[in-house]
Amino acid sequence: MSHKEMQSCIEACVRCAQECEHCGEACLHEKGMTELAACISLDSDCAQICWTAAAYMSRGSEFSAGVCELCAEICDACAEECQRHSHDHCKSCAKACQRCAEECRKMAGARV
């Protein structure tokens, strides 16, 4: 599968990584930041795996499907955590994570 056939998933991963980076940074400046520790940590993990998944797919790696499976799992966890908070940045992040998880599951199911 060429990187062009994976473009929708690549874009979802990049968008999710950006939202997670933003959410984690914004959480650091919220009142009650200690209550957001799990959110900040998952944002960081999710952003990193999303950047990685996008890179693997962009170069057509034979390991893309496996990375995407893990990416979907982490995106699900991040979305679940972000949904617990009322901040706009958390809500935006949760939506991006849900979309990315969906795209990654499709990609992983296609098996590169």
**Over the stretch 45-55, which tens digit does the pLDDT of each residue have?**
999 999 999 99
DSSP string, 11-42: HHHHHHHHHHHHHHHHHTTSTTGGGGHHHHHH
By residue count, the chain amounts to 112
Please give the structure tokens belonging to residue 86. Answer: 């009322």
Residue that wins the pLDDT comparison between 5 and 24: 24
Fold for the domain defined by 7-110: Substrate Binding Domain Of Dnak; Chain:A; Domain 2 (1.20.1270)
pLDDT of residue 1: 61
pTM (predicted TM-score): 0.93
Domain ranges of the chain: 7-110
- State the average pLDDT for the chain: 93
pLDDT band for position 29 (cuts 50, 70, 90): very high
